Amino acid sequence: MSSDAAERGGGEPGGIPDGLPALRLDGVTRSYGSRKALDGVSFTVPRLSVFGLVGPNGAGKTTLFSTIAAFLRPDSGTIRILGDHSPGDPALLGRVSILPQDALFDRNLMIIDQLILYRRLQGATAAQATVEVREALVRVGLGEYLDRSVTVLSHGMTKRLGIAQAFLGSPELIFLDEPTAGLDPRNAGRIRRVIRELSEHSTVVVSSHNLAELEDLCDQVAILDRGVIKATGTVAELMERQGRRTLELELPAPPSEELRRQLAAHPGVRSLAGTEGRLAVMLDATGPEPVAAVLRTLLDAGLVPRSFHDGGSLEEVFLSLTDESPE
Amino acid sequence: MEARRLLLVTRYSLPAFLRNGSGISYVVLTFTLGLLLAELPLSIVESGLADLEELLEQIRVMVAMMLAVVSLEQTFSQLGTLSSAPTPEQAPFLEWAQYLLNERPALLSAVLAIELIAVPLFIATGTFNQLSGDLQHGAIRYQLLRTSRAELYFGRFIGMALFTWVLIVALLLAILIYVGVRLDLYPWADIIAWGGRALIGFGVLSLPYVAACCAISANVASPFASLVLCSLAVGGVPVLAIGGMQAWEPLGNLIYLMPWGYTHHLFHPEASHGVLAGLGCLLHGALYLAAGYLLFRRKDL
């Protein structure tokens, strides 16, 4: 943890007046010409949570991040950050950071020099900044590129560099715009671990197309489509609100047609899907009874599930709310 | 605005600028063209092709003509009459030229008169990328949550103004040393005194042009467009004013959109003219900076 964070109580919520969320948006609207990129966006991000922002391409996620970060000005609405601060408030300098989606680093400065500048702008001394920058780069697997230019980095490495700069100085609120896009599975996993660690001391807002990732990482999500927030809440709340409950099973062999008919006939079972050994049973009913009935039928037929997951996927909710059909 | 962050922005802007293409081209252009232009009057003396007295007379007329043109008292079409029979309106310029050539080291004055026109053009083609490149590529976004827009804007301006001063000082020192050592025509005391005033004059003169380019660069997210606009703003204003004046005299006042109309007073025989011209440069610079910042403050980045 950096000394700045220590001074603030390690990014503790003590930096924010009691009872106030890390971020609150109310009716935020932003247009590009006649096209509304954000249309009355309202939601709240609790302190020390990981909040996911989901939406298809062009939904307005990057515009929303840019508006909160004061890169863009909203046409109307209010944004309150870390208490009662508006975007661009000098009191927020160094307390909020962002991984912008399309920003490039300066090609004319060495990587370490750029990050040292960023950290020093947050108040660190040169020596302190150097130590922290080295640690940050090692943490994202770029320790050997300290004295190089960004021109030698691949797309994935540049993304990791962007993430390293975002958590310099342990900011209280961090925005990550598609942090794992373009990363290989190993590095995506590394970044997810970093995000989990960050969330112990900071509030993290993540946008992503990787819905499984958000489902795994986030305490709460908001679904944004064509500039409008379609739903917010925990993944479980969204499932319940949408009446979507799915029992996902991995079977040693594909169920026969007869077995499928028996399963579909159970009360509370809406439909079946899946191929080969994977079976998804869509349920209408709540409670353990329909799950027990399905499992009993499978066991009676000699199919012992290798694994099962009772719930549903964020993807289903996302697709249903954004007018797309699951494939 | 916090001084510590302002200085950090200033400090880090210089190596980044020096390592990119526009920084290198600024240095190369200013030095090669600056020295080439200085060579024009010097080479005539060096080659021994001209009688010095005759040459000085020619330079006197040339400098007087330049003073007349930049003061908008004479247009190009009227210049032909200047050397033969000066009118009462032309007389002050010939006296001014007399001061520059008789009371001050003449060759140095001739060089300074040329550089007075060239330096703003060098500045326009060298300082157009103070912020526009970072705006285009979004690099500025990494700094925006750590420093204010004001610190970024003024920090970059200060960095570029300092860099320009260093460049001008180096260019003038090269010229002064060359004139003093190689030609050995004037006492060192005269060269140093006139050179000192030139350093101050050009230092003040550079500010409004660097400020204008900063204002343009901060509000145009394309280095190429910024280069075109800076060149048009700095180089186009005198062309527009002098050309427009031929059609309708009041259009000549367009020259005051930039400091072109009065910067030659930095080298006027009367010190008060020099001080007023310096204040004019500072005022012009402050106006450009303020206008640019007001736009930048509200700009989508």
- Confidence grade of residue A6 (pLDDT, cut at 50, 70, 90): very low
A104/B139 touch (CB, cutoff 8 Å), yes or no: yes
pLDDT the model gives residue A16: 62
Mean pLDDT calculated for residue range A222-226: 88
Question: ipTM score here?
Answer: 0.78
How many Å apart are CA A237 and CA A232, to the nearest integer? Answer: 9
DSSP state of A91: G
What are the tens digits of pLDDT across the range A248-296?
888 888 888 888 888 888 888 888 887 777 888 887 766 778 888 888 9
Give the residue, B75 or A167, on which the prediction is more confident: A167
pLDDT in tens, B217-226: 999 999 999 9
pLDDT at residue B164, as a whole number: 93
Percent of chain B past pLDDT 90, that is, above it, reads 36
pLDDT in tens, A7-34: 443 344 445 666 688 999 999 999 998 8
Q: Looking at the predicted structure, is the pLDDT value of residue A1 above 70?
A: no
Per-residue CA distances from A289 to A268, A293, A296, B25 (Å) = 9, 6, 10, 77
Residue (of B259, B242, B220) closest to B117 by Cα position: B259
Could you tell me the pLDDT band of residue B97, with boundaries at 50, 70 and 90?
A: confident
The radius of gyration of chain B's CA atoms, rounded to the nearest angstrom, is 20
Amino acid A255: pLDDT? 87
pLDDT one-digit tens code per residue, B9-22: 999 888 878 777 77
**Between chains, do A108 and B298 touch, taking CB under 8 Å as contact?**
no
Residue of B129, B146, B297, B300 to mutate when probing chain A, most A C-beta within 10 A: B146
Do A103 and B148 count as a contact with CB atoms less than 8 A apart? Answer: no
By percentage, how much of chain B surpasses pLDDT 70?
84
B206 pLDDT higher than 70: yes
Q: Report pLDDT for B89.
A: 65
Using a CB-CB cut-off of 8 Å, the residues of chain A touching B138 are: 100, 102-104
Asked if residue A168 lies in contact with residue A122, where contact means CB atoms within 8 angstroms, the answer is yes
| pLDDT higher than threshold 60 for residue A327 | no
What length does chain B have? 301
| pLDDT tens sequence across A75-132 | 999 999 998 899 989 999 989 999 998 888 888 888 999 999 999 999 899 999 999 9
Measured between alpha carbons, how far apart are the two ends of chain B, in Å?
19
Q: What percent of chain A has pLDDT over 90?
A: 28
pTM (2 decimals)?
A: 0.81
* pLDDT for the residue numbered A20: 80
pLDDT of residue A203: 92
Chain B residue closest to A97 (CA)? B145
Q: DSSP letter string over B181-228?
A: III--S-HHHHHHHHHHHHHHHHHHHHHHHHHHHHHHTT-S-HHHHHH
Residue of B291, B103, B142, B122 whose CA lies nearest to B210? B122
* DSSP structure class, residue A103: P
Of residues A143 and B209, more confidently modeled: B209
Nearest to A118 among B17, B138, B146 (CB): B146
Please write the tens of the pLDDT for every residue from A34-51.
888 999 999 999 988 899
**Cα distance between the two ends of chain A:** 44
Tell me which chain B residues have a C-beta less than 8 angstroms from the C-beta of A70. Answer: 144-145
Is the pLDDT reported for residue B84 higher than 60? Answer: no
Residue of B145, B127, B299, B153 whose CA lies nearest to B223: B127
